[in-house]
Amino acid sequence: MSSAELIESRSDADESGSKGTGSGISIKGLTHRYGRGAAAVTALGPIDLEVPPGEFLVLVGASGCGKSTLLRILAGFESIQQGRVEVAGVAPVPGAGSGVVFQQPRLFPWTTVGGNIDLALKYARVPRGERSARRAELLARVGLEGLASRRIWEISGGQQQRVAIARVLAADTALLLLDEPFAALDALTRDRLQDDLRAVSAESGRTSVFVTHSADEAVYLGSRIVVLTRRPGRIALDLPVELPRTGVDPDELRADARYVELRREVGRAVKAAAA
Ligand code: ADP
Ligand code: MG
C-alpha cells in the first residue's frame, strides 16, 4: 500500500476528518517586518491570498523576496504583526496543523532513520502495534527500504532529505509546508523526489505550500503558482496550472506544450518581478 492510499484509508477511519484531508489557508492584508525603527526591514506584503483545501501552491521568487518568511508565518513560527492569517479557520500554531520540511533536513541525530519516523508516528498518536508496518511503508515510499536501522550520519544528504519527507508524511497533517526541500540535492535525486511528492500530494488531498526559486520546479509540482515580487514580497502573478496531476509520465508531462508555455511564462514573471 502506498502512503497516499494509507492516508486515504486512515482518513476513512477518522470520522472527524481533521487529518488526511487538506486545510484551507486565508491571508488578508499580511505585512511582515523584521527589526524596529530605522533598522526595520519590511520583508513581506501586503499580501492577500485564499488557498482552498487540497491545493498544491508553489511560491516562486528571487532570493530574499520573503518566501521563507511567509512559510514560517503559515507554520506559526513567526508572530503576525499586521493582517490576518488562518489555517483551517484558526491562527497557525507551531506543530499543530502543519508539517514542515526545510532546505536542510533537521533530523534527530541521536536515533536511527527508523527512530526518526517512529517518533513522528508516536507524536501523531499512531498506535504502537501499527507503527512498524507504517514505518516500513513510509520508508519504501521515499525509496529508503532496508535503511531503518542506519544512523543519520551514515546516510547521504539526499537520503536524509527523504527521511525528512517520510517524517512529515508520517505526521499526517492536513498542511505540508516545504521550503526549497530539494535545493541541495543532485538532479537525479531531486527528479525522483519531485515525482514522489507530486504523486503523494495528488492522491492524498493534502494542502501543500512549496517554496522554490525554480520556474521549472514550480510548474512541475504546482496546481497553482504564485510569483512574488522582490522584497517586500507581494503577489506579482497568481496562475492556475491546468495539467493532469495523476497517472502521468513525468517525461511526457515535461514535453507537453502547455507545460513548456507555462514554464516560459513563469520564468519570465520571476525575472520581471525580481527586477
Ligand atoms: P527568501 O526565503 O525569499 O529568500 P526570506 O523570507 O528568508 O526570503 O527573507 C526576506 C527578507 O527578510 C530578506 O531581505 C532577509 O534578509 C530578511 N530577513 C529574513 N529573516 C530575517 C530575520 N530573522 N531578521 C532580519 N531580517 C530577516
Ligand atoms: Mg528562503
Cβ contact 73:85 at 8 Å: yes
**CA–CA distance, 194 with 258 (Å, rounded to integer):** 19
Q: Is the CB of 63 under 6 A from ligand 1?
A: yes
Q: What does residue 158 show for φ and ψ, rounded to 5 degrees?
A: -65, -40
Say what the pLDDT of residue 13 is: 34
Say what the pLDDT of residue 21 is: 64
Nearby residues of 42 by Cβ (< 8 Å), 6 or more positions away? 31, 32, 33, 231, 232
Ligand 1: which atom is nearest the Cα of residue 179? 2
Q: Is the CB of 64 under 6 A from ligand 1?
A: yes
Q: Is the peptide bond before 46 cis (omega within 30 degrees of 0)?
A: yes
**CA–CA distance, 185 with 6 (Å, rounded to integer):** 27
Say what the pLDDT of residue 18 is: 39
To test the pocket of ligand 1, the residue of 31, 42, 65 to mutate (highest count of ligand atoms within 8 Å of its CB) is: 65
Question: Which single residue is written with the C-alpha cell 498518536?
Answer: 125
Q: Which domains does the chain have, with CATH numbers?
A: 3-97+175-274 (3.40.50.300), 107-172 (no CATH)
pLDDT digit string, tens, across residues 167-207: 988 887 889 999 999 887 788 878 888 888 887 777 778 89
Residue nearest to atom 17 of ligand 1 (CA): 43
Report the share of the chain in percent with pLDDT over 70. 92
**CA–CA distance, 268 with 219 (Å, rounded to integer):** 13
pLDDT classification of 8: cutoffs 50, 70, 90: very low
3-state secondary structure of 66: coil
Cβ contact 26:55 at 8 Å: no
Bridging pattern class, strands 235-240 and 224-228: antiparallel
pLDDT digit string, tens, across residues 111-156: 999 999 999 999 888 999 999 999 999 998 888 999 999 999 999 8
